[in-house]
Amino acid sequence: MFSGLSFGRSKEGAKRAVGNDLAMRQVLAVKPTKRLPTVKQWMQLPRFLSPVERRIALTGFLLIVVGAGALGFQYVSQHAERVAAVGGEYTEGVIGYPHYTNPLYANASDVDASLSHLVYNGLMRFDPVEGVVPDLAESYQISTDEKEYTFTLKNDLTWHDHDPVTSEDVVFTMHAIQNPEYRSPLMSTLSGISVEAVDEKTVKFTLSEPFAPFLTTMTIGILPAHIWQNIPAANAQLTQLNLKPIGSGPYIFEKLTKDNKGNLKSVDFVRNPDYFRGAPHIERLTFKFFMDTNELSQALRNHNIEGASVLPYEQVAKFSDDRSLNVTRPSTREYVAALFNLKATGPVSDSKVRQALALATDRQTLISTVQAGHATPITSPLVFGVPGYDSSLAIPTADPATAATMLEDAGWKIPTEGGMRTKDGKTLNVPITVLDTPELKAVAEELRRQWEPLGVSVNVIPVSSTSLQNDVLKSRSFDVLVSGELYGVFPDPYPFWHSSQVPFPGLNVSQFVSKAADDAISTIRTTADQTARTEAFTKFAAAVNETTPAIFLYQPTYPYALPSTIQNVKLPAIVTPADRFANVQDWYIKTKAIFKKKS
């Protein structure tokens, strides 16, 4: 009995236990969990809110997003910086058409020289800040007698086709220039110079006599021998490699396009990711070609191009106000001067007349009028970038009163009835001959405006480039010639001021003769000692100014237009237009953020 009773109670207890377990499970099933609502669940929330609650929730949400964004921006700005990144393209317009993107021939054309600058490297290069510095060369040595130059190439130099650059490439290029069959205009530059490969990375040049400009000669681009040695010298100017070049430079030729008449319209280059001075940032450079400045300006206004290789003189002010452009103005190694003909039969043969005209010349006003203030006044043939140039020297102010007194003392009197000065029945007539360009004509007209109040009769005579070369310069038939004279990478005054260059085709058009100047020029050209060269330049300038063969007016700038999107363009100075690409690998359009390392 007991046992049966006991069994019945166990069954009821078991049922109760099972019931309690099911109840507990139900409780646990509805117990909150730690898991957050899903996005889908959050999306349903507005259905359960009133309009007012929805507005409050939306405002709160936006405040959270804005706050998080502000905190993120603050963090990034404090811990990251913007740096140059790879990307972007640039299209530039140039005047003229390429024919020889080849360092053997490129110096005859600004277009060819500019494109060649992107593709080829020399042993040396021109740097806008440091001057002539090593390029393909890692280092160089000059012998004590200054007749031997030994260059050692950098390691791991490669051509665009990935072959290595060696000393044999240097030897091949120099021998090609010296070979008359190549018909290179640079042939005379390397006359009497021997070159040999000492080993794969070393090349030696031997000169017959010391020649200080030699290092600047080594800025000539080097050709890849393994490609060019298979082309006969007589065919060098005919090969397509002149328009589809292979070099070692920062940019690699990609393609060219022509119109339906076969005229070359554009050339594209892409970045060289293996460039030894650092891979460029801008992905592609495209050059479009135009007949003249009018076409170029129109294309720039229509945004058919983004920049211009040079802005026309008369368009500089207009484009300088364009916010999409950055008009940079590197100085040039050029000066603009009023050159006197010392052998003329007119009044300028008198040094007192020349000095009076110099005293009456207001350089600052001239620069403001002609160059909108963007030029450097000068008083000698020394300009910025030339040894001996001193920027701290004061520029004399115009002194018309003293100038008038000098003319009086020289016998040039103003008639009692007024008018222009006369002497022995002859009028003080000073004609100005000038090349028929807008800038130089503006200079001549400003000089006329400044000189005429002295009682000087001034007639401005514009001439064509053909007439200037064949008539004016050949026969030295001028009294005053307004002209620019341009130094090369090596600032050599020899062509313009040495006495041996007085006869045509020499460029000493003032017919200036001075033993002191000749001696100084000789030192400039034969010594590599920088101190001695600087002293020689100073003596040369003093000898020139002693007789006033010219009124040195200003050192102009080169107006180069780039889109404002291109950053890190540093061009304080150039020698040739091609030098605008001296540090093109440092330019960039795109940027990226990187986090700063903790110090």
Domain with residue 349: its CATH number is 3.10.105.10
CATH value at residue 297: 3.40.190.10
Asked whether the predicted pLDDT for residue 4 surpasses 60, the reply is no
Give pLDDT tens digits for 398-441.
999 999 999 999 999 999 898 999 999 999 999 999 999 999 99
Identify which has the larger pLDDT, 77 or 328.
328
Of 557, 596, 564, 599, nearest to 580 by C-alpha is 557
Is residue 104 a part of any domain in this protein?
no
Size of the chain, expressed as the number of residues it contains: 599
Q: Do 508 and 362 belong to one domain?
A: yes
Preceding omega of 505 cis (within 30 degrees of 0): yes
CATH value at residue 188: 3.90.76.10
- Segment holding 377, helix H or strand E: strand 375-377
| Confidence at residue 596, expressed as pLDDT on a 0 to 100 scale | 65
Q: Do 370 and 341 belong to one domain?
A: yes
Q: Do 503 and 398 belong to one domain?
A: yes
Give dist(CA 385, CA 557) in Å, integer.
13
Is residue 387 a part of any domain in this protein?
yes
Whole-number percent of the chain with pLDDT over 70: 91
- pTM of the shown model: 0.81
Q: Do 389 and 323 belong to one domain?
A: no
Examine the fold and report which residue of 213, 248, 283 is the final residue of a domain before the chain moves on: 248
Q: Do 407 and 493 belong to one domain?
A: yes
At residue 203 the predicted structure's pLDDT band, cuts being 50, 70 and 90, is: very high
Q: Do 232 and 270 belong to one domain?
A: no
At residue 102 the predicted structure's pLDDT band, cuts being 50, 70 and 90, is: very high
Give dist(CA 340, CA 418) in Å, integer.
27
Is residue 534 a part of any domain in this protein?
no
Q: Do 359 and 285 belong to one domain?
A: no
User: DSSP character for 394?
Assistant: P
Is residue 113 a part of any domain in this protein?
no
Is residue 524 a part of any domain in this protein?
no
Region 324-335: mean pLDDT is 94
Region 243-247: mean pLDDT is 97
Whole-number percent of the chain with pLDDT over 90: 77
Asked whether the predicted pLDDT for residue 595 surpasses 80, the reply is no
Asked whether the predicted pLDDT for residue 598 surpasses 90, the reply is no
At residue 36 the predicted structure's pLDDT band, cuts being 50, 70 and 90, is: low
Under a CB-based contact definition with an 8 Å cutoff, are residues 379 and 395 in contact?
Answer: yes
Under a CB-based contact definition with an 8 Å cutoff, are residues 549 and 340 in contact?
Answer: yes
Give pLDDT tens digits for 543-572.
999 999 999 999 999 999 999 999 999 999
Is residue 101 a part of any domain in this protein?
no
| Confidence at residue 170, expressed as pLDDT on a 0 to 100 scale | 98
Q: Do 494 and 588 belong to one domain?
A: no
The one-letter amino acid at 421: R
Q: Do 322 and 265 belong to one domain?
A: yes
The tally of domains found in the chain comes to 4
| Confidence at residue 51, expressed as pLDDT on a 0 to 100 scale | 80
Give pLDDT tens digits for 473-509.
999 999 999 999 999 889 999 999 999 999 999 999 9
Asked whether the predicted pLDDT for residue 8 surpasses 50, the reply is no
Q: Do 57 and 165 belong to one domain?
A: no
Examine the fold and report which residue of 248, 273, 300 is the final residue of a domain before the chain moves on: 248
Is residue 293 a part of any domain in this protein?
yes
Give pLDDT tens digits for 163-193.
999 999 999 999 999 999 999 999 998 999 9
| Confidence at residue 13, expressed as pLDDT on a 0 to 100 scale | 52
Q: Do 417 and 550 belong to one domain?
A: yes
Q: Which residues contact 301 (CB under 8 A, 6 or more apart)?
A: none
Asked whether the predicted pLDDT for residue 3 surpasses 70, the reply is no
Give dist(CA 529, CA 531) in Å, integer.
6
Q: Which residues pair with residue 267 across a beta bridge?
A: 256, 287
Give pLDDT tens digits for 284-322.
999 999 999 899 999 999 999 999 999 988 888 889 888
Asked whether the predicted pLDDT for residue 7 surpasses 50, the reply is no
User: What value does the mean pLDDT of the chain take?
Assistant: 90
Give pLDDT tens digits for 446-480.
999 999 999 999 999 999 999 999 999 999 999 99
Q: Do 150 and 262 belong to one domain?
A: no
Examine the fold and report which residue of 188, 221, 248 is the final residue of a domain before the chain moves on: 248
| Confidence at residue 546, expressed as pLDDT on a 0 to 100 scale | 96
Identify which has the larger pLDDT, 45 or 459.
459
Asked whether the predicted pLDDT for residue 9 surpasses 50, the reply is no
Range(s) of the domain holding residue 193 = 121-248
Region 523-532: mean pLDDT is 92
Is residue 7 a part of any domain in this protein?
yes
